Amino acid sequence: MSNNSKLTLEGQALLVISAQNKGLGPLDRDLRAEEIAQLGWNLLHEDLSLPVAVLQKEKLEQNLAWMQKFIHAHGVELAPHGKTTMAPRLFEMQMRGGAWGITLATAHQTSVAWRHGLRRVLMANQLVGKQNMALVSRLLEDPEFEFYCLVDSADLVHQLSPFFAQRGQRLHVLLEIGVPGGRGGVRTEEQLQSVLDVLAESSSAIALDGVELYEGILDDETVVRAFLDRAVAITKRLMIENRFDRRRPLLSGAGSTWFDVVAEVFSGADFPQRVEIVLRPGCYLTHDAGHYREAHAKILERNQIARSIFVGLQPALQVWACVQSVPEPTRAIVGIGKRDASFDLGLPMPALHFRPGEPAPTPAPSHWTLTKMMDQHGYLQLAKEDDVRVGDMIAFDISHPCLTFDKWRIIPIIDGSYKVVDVVQTFF
């Protein structure tokens, strides 16, 4: 992380927490994150206005360490997908933990990361549109900034090339490989050749530095492996054809579901020159108790190294909300809605039950189920004999961290005693 840029400092200045954010304690004025950590807020002392999203410090650290061990054991690099959290303070934690860089999805996200000191970004997306190109062009004026984005069509290269040529800049790109029925990426030999041809003509403005794919759209391991093998074969061919500008070409893949298979296939391939293999999972840092817990269980089944690393990934993000009403013996209305937690890959799951004044939360009974979320409310299904009252606090585990993070502008980090020890700010 570079700290000597004027714009970095501007970025840091913006880590002031506005008293207008939800999920904070009483604040008379805006404070810096460091100042908030000094206030001694404790979730169980009712110091925060619910609903609130919280990150658990120990679990974040465990997850960071787990992934670094995994990456190290496979001899590959990690560029965690930052779109998950869009929290520069977490990017910083990931970089300090040994990440090679941060992956992002858009020019806007890249710009935010750069303002907060990031100097190596893999934008795992096509750079399209005049202002998005202009945003990136401006960042490229910083000679310390290393940036890669994707190309998968001659059309796109034809748009990028004059734009960056005119500015005397050179854009570094990876060739995206795709599958029929998938997202971006060249499908056919004909498409591949047409991109290569125009890249060859555009080499003064566009440097081809590697190959990229995103296998996360696939459900079947055999298909994933075939896709990875194809990327390996294309990478070898482009090496032989001397197409790459980078001394060690980049080969990048892996979302949070198949990173073990990607690590195994890519690191096991025999290339005619050294490659830098960059994996891009985003959800490992907070993990979850739904979609990615299931994905992780499969990774542990498949991958011996993953199994050997202590404890595995832990869900580190929860949303806490109050019971507002118990209008029927088996129904509580809780102040958690679609505005507060993701719902696209499963609704939040009750994890803890806490009655203010009691010493500690207890695990939520397994029969408690959130059956529905409206914008600001959740319906919690209970058994008739359950002791749930208005004012009780319920902690929910979530499924799909990405779409929970983007509902919060600030997220307190708590320690094992539920004390707020830090605050992260998001930039969506």
Residue numbers 340-369 binding a copy of itself by CB under 8 A: 343-344, 356
Q: Of the candidates 184, 290, 315, 348, which one interacts with a copy of itself according to CB under 8 A?
A: 184
Amino acid at 226: A
Report the distance separating Cα 261 and Cα 257, nearest Å: 9
**For 185, phi and psi rounded to 5 degrees?**
110, 140
In whole angstroms, how far apart are CA 308 and each of 66, 149, 289? 10, 34, 21
- Residue (44 or 275) nearer to a copy of itself, CB: 44
Q: Are 420 and 44 in contact (CB under 8 A)?
A: no
The dihedral formed by the CA atoms of 123, 70, 291 and 419, expressed in degrees to the nearest 10 = -90
Q: How far apart are CA 207 and CA 246, in angstroms?
A: 8
Q: Does position 377 bind a copy of itself by CB under 8 A?
A: yes
Indicate which single residue of 73, 352, 403, 421 sits in contact with a copy of itself (rule: CB under 8 A). Answer: 403
Closer to a copy of itself by CB, 271 or 428: give it.
428
Contact yes or no for 87/286 (Cβ under 8 A):
no
CB atoms within 10 A of CB 103: 30
> Minimum distance between the CB of residue 189 and a copy of itself, rounded to whole angstroms?
14
Smallest gap, in angstroms, from Cβ of residue 73 to a copy of itself? 28
Residues 249-288 that bind a copy of itself (CB under 8 A): none
3-state secondary structure of 262: helix
User: Please, which of residues 67-126 interact with a copy of itself by CB under 8 A?
Assistant: 83, 105-109, 111-112, 115, 125-126
**For residue 53, what are the β-bridge partners?**
319
Examine residue 50 and tell whether it contacts a copy of itself (CB under 8 A).
yes
Judged by beta carbon, residue 97 or residue 253, the one nearer a copy of itself is 253
Using the contact rule CB under 8 A, the part of the chain among 299-307, 320-328, 346-354, 416-424 near a copy of itself is 320-328
**Minimum Å distance from CB 328 to a copy of itself?**
7
User: Taking CB under 8 A as the rule, does residue 161 contact a copy of itself?
Assistant: no
* Cα–Cα distance measured from residue 101 to residue 256, given in angstroms and rounded to the nearest whole number: 16
According to DSSP, the β-strands at 276-279 and 77-78 are parallel
**Which of these segments, 19-27, 94-102, 139-147, 243-251, binds a copy of itself (CB under 8 A)?**
19-27
Number of residues engaging a copy of itself in binding (CB under 8 A): 78
